[in-house]
């Protein structure tokens, strides 16, 4: 089997409000769990209790995700030379930019 080689460079990863997105998803999982909780009897009668436990697991894993992305965001800000509690302005990079070989300056001959 031949080794696969990419034909073009990979695109830059999308950066956005990662902490807010993960926090919103975590809250949504917990809300779904709480909304379904009063209907536990119906879920149990129909063999669908896994729906409740899936929502609870999603909320629990979301808490781990919130912890992770907050630490990641703080590390990116530290690497960029900004304090960890400084708010990010729109348009300001959230991580240090790296120059690719194609954009590096070469000495003139």
pLDDT per position in the chain (109 positions), as tens? 678 888 888 888 878 899 999 999 999 999 999 999 999 999 999 999 999 999 999 999 999 999 999 999 999 889 988 666 666 655 555 555 554 455 555 555 4
What does the pLDDT read at residue 35? Answer: 97
Model-wide pTM > 0.85: no
CA 8, chain centre distance (Å)? 25
- Paired tokens of 64: 């781990």
What does the pLDDT read at residue 109? Answer: 46
């Amino acid at each position: 089997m031949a080794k696969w080689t990419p034909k073009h460079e990979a695109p830059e990863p999308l950066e956005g409000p990662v902490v807010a997105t993960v926090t919103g998803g975590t809250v949504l999982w917990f809300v779904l769990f709480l909304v379904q909780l009063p209907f536990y009897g119906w879920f149990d009668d129909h063999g669908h209790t896994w729906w409740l436990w899936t929502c609870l697991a999603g909320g629990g894993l979301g808490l781990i995700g919130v912890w992770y992305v907050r630490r990641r965001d703080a590390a990116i800000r530290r690497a960029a030379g900004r304090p960890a509690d400084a708010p990010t302005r729109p348009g300001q990079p959230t991580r240090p930019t790296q120059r690719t070989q194609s954009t590096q300056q070469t000495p003139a001959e």
